[in-house]
Structure 1
């Protein structure tokens, strides 16, 4: 039944005047709306720029937005999305989807300029495929580490140099603001609240040592919030369900399954994580410590060491907190005590760390929107056919 709506949306995009195809944003999922919403607000408002938003998620919040400078279309995964990518006639095409050209969705046959927005502060060469970012023209980088990694990749692989814009990470700015607006207040003697929010995959915390870890924490008297990654719920539903059933009757255990929910993050005193880039946002944004469980990393690029650069997910861990192995879970309570012992010092350390790790703190969105507008002006008519009219 999705065939005809997808066909109609594709046909509608094809018939859009060139000025509506000058700056096009594509989103795989409504989960990414927060990556685009601020940019779109600035483009449509302060910069008075027309923007077409294409999503593959019928539940994307972007479909509900209304503005004179904004059009939203839904082309779900399938035949017409593949066709849309292949014959896409845009000048500037902005997305957070990795592996353009490597999988089913290819670069257009038209001379489209592709802009990739990094959706996390993580490194580019271990968790992702070696060539995940090779086929974009411009990359909006979160911090200096990504610039260094991309340039090294280009040199080793003999690739042409991309345009790298020092963008920053708007989500980190949002987390900083949320933390300031919702300070945690606890009664004297209240035990800390520990949030367990790891990455997903067979080697993640919940898949390998989740039950043992939660048991240790509850026995130590902590309040525990279990917050699985949405991919864990999709790919390992039996693991998540089993853990939830095992502890849901405990008065100090809480399960959070709502995606995009931030209350549990704000209420917590400490994060337990493995390799999720969320740890960077939590530590540097909320200025709260992270306890890392050293399960095997999820590695998509087995040759990542060839770049000669240690990924930020590895080298920043001990600045954000402590690391213990899954065979040392009995040490978790003592580690938590140490990490929470001097919150003032930890806050100062995080403020210094984020100033050197992330670009444009406090103004990434307005600067990023202006850069997109600049690129769209430069590319005007090249892919959309405006100059041929």
Structure 2
């Protein structure tokens, strides 16, 4: 007979992590249920006047902020060219859409966070396009008066790198490349969801950047330039390695441009301030906080990054090499954790980039020089570009075509 011994005072790390996740999930669910009850009570005592919007809009775009303008700009301009009316709702008071004089585009600032969601949750529209994930998961709900919700991917990397259930409740997802469809279909089968429309349209913001880069002045002569452009969070390059990575670069004599992830400025301000002070007397080290990344991309000869999507911007737009520092990314909070296969972006990175290990930091100059000369990497970059960025230059037109076809 086998005797099992159980220690009631011991919880293994895996079980503890699972219990913690369950408690957090339960607390979040209770919070949003209570919020929903409060809203319904308010609607009841207002006579139901807030139930739906009175105006039915044929086409609506919602932008979380001005950083997404280049994602939507080609679509907006296509509607303007076609003389079709479109409502553009934004959570940025200084959204670039307000700088343009459009005749068929109505733009409106609707506030941020819950204020914006309150408007969106009762809107009436035939078609709503957004980059915001997690529809019908948290505060952002499907309005009963919207016929079709569509999510447009704003990165050429895997579609499953959103938080759990990020794309589950959309009617369609607009892809940058055909390869992104496979993992979405896997999740639909796992979760017994109806199949969404998956339409490959290309990548709008890369189309915009490709045109902008052509207009940028070319530096006739410039020092060899290394762009350090990581993601943010505990697994991000700057947070994890910091001065251990930057010290050897600062001592190289090359021009070093450090472009932190936009979220780092909000979530890791103390860390950035400490690093900025450390290199404040080194004229070779520059910091870039511009809204658009193309200025740094165009000046760099090589990039050092981690798992940030800017890797693909750099390679696809500038056709220059990338060195990546591998750092384990905890996929448990993301849809990717439910997909059995390795993410495309992780697999392809080994083919198109060169891994830099921490023990190589002090001699990284040699690694960087070798990466700059590799024709093998150049061919791999082109293959990846053809896979992940299809229909180059056509995304705005293809999205507008799909929107109008769906409504008709």
TM-score normalised to structure 1 length: 0.85
| 2:295 is equivalent to residue 263 of structure 1 | yes
- 2:192 corresponds to which residue? 158
> Unaligned regions of 5+ residues in structure 2, if any?
1-49
Q: 2:117 aligned with 1:82, yes or no?
A: yes
- Answering whether residue 284 of structure 2 is matched by residue 252 of structure 1, we say yes
Name the residue aligned to 1:337.
369
How many angstroms does 1:195 deviate by? 0.5
CA distance 1:345–1:294, shift in 2 (3 Å): closer
Matched, 1:138 2:169: no
Which structure has the larger Rg over C-alpha atoms? 2
Residues 280-311 of structure 1: per-residue CA shift (max 9 Å, x gap) = 12112210111101123253536735422221
Distance (Å, rounded) in 1 between the aligned partners of 2:114 and 2:237? 37
Could you say which structure has the greater relative contact order, defined with CA pairs below 8 angstroms and 6 or more residues apart? 1
Deviation at residue 349 of structure 1 after TM alignment: 3.8
User: In the TM superposition, what is the alpha-carbon distance from 1:76 to its structure 2 partner?
Assistant: 0.8
Per-residue CA deviations over 1:66-123 (Å, capped at 9, x if unaligned) read 2110111111125542322221111101100011111111111224310101111121
Is 1:173–1:285's contact at 8 Å kept on the other side of the alignment? no
Shift of 1:226: 0.8
- The answer to whether the 8 A contact 1:197-1:272 is kept is yes
Q: In structure 2, what is the equivalent of residue 273 of structure 1?
A: 305
Provide the TM-score with structure 2 as the length reference: 0.82
Shift in alpha-carbon separation, 1:282–1:332, aligned structure 2, 3 A: same
Given that residues 224 and 252 in structure 1 are in contact (C-alpha distance below 8 angstroms), is that contact kept between their aligned partners in structure 2?
A: yes
Q: Kindly provide the CA deviation profile for residues 172-228 of structure 1, in whole angstroms up to 9, marking residues without a partner as x.
A: 3344444555586564xx642000111111221111112121111122232100111
- Structure 1 unmatched runs, 5+: 1-10, 378-389
1:65 and 2:97 equivalent?
Answer: no
Question: What is aligned with 1:114?
Answer: 149
Contact conserved, 1:128 with 1:299, CA < 8 A, in 2?
A: no
Relative to structure 2, which stretch is displaced further, 207-216 or 306-315? 306-315
Q: Which of 22, 47, 57 is 2:58 aligned to? A: 22
| Separation of aligned partners in 1, 2:159 and 2:323 | 23
Answer yes or no: is the 8 Å Cα contact 1:120–1:142 preserved in 2.
Answer: yes
Q: Is the 8 A contact 2:153 2:159 kept in 1?
A: no
1:376 Cα deviation (Å)? 2.7
Q: Distance in 1 between matches of 2:334 and 2:296?
A: 35
Q: How far 1:245 moved relative to its partner?
A: 1.2
Task: Tell me what 2:23 maps to.
Answer: none
Q: Distance in 1 between matches of 2:262 and 2:100?
A: 24
Number of residue pairs matched? 359
- 8 A Cα contact 2:134 2:165, kept in partner: yes
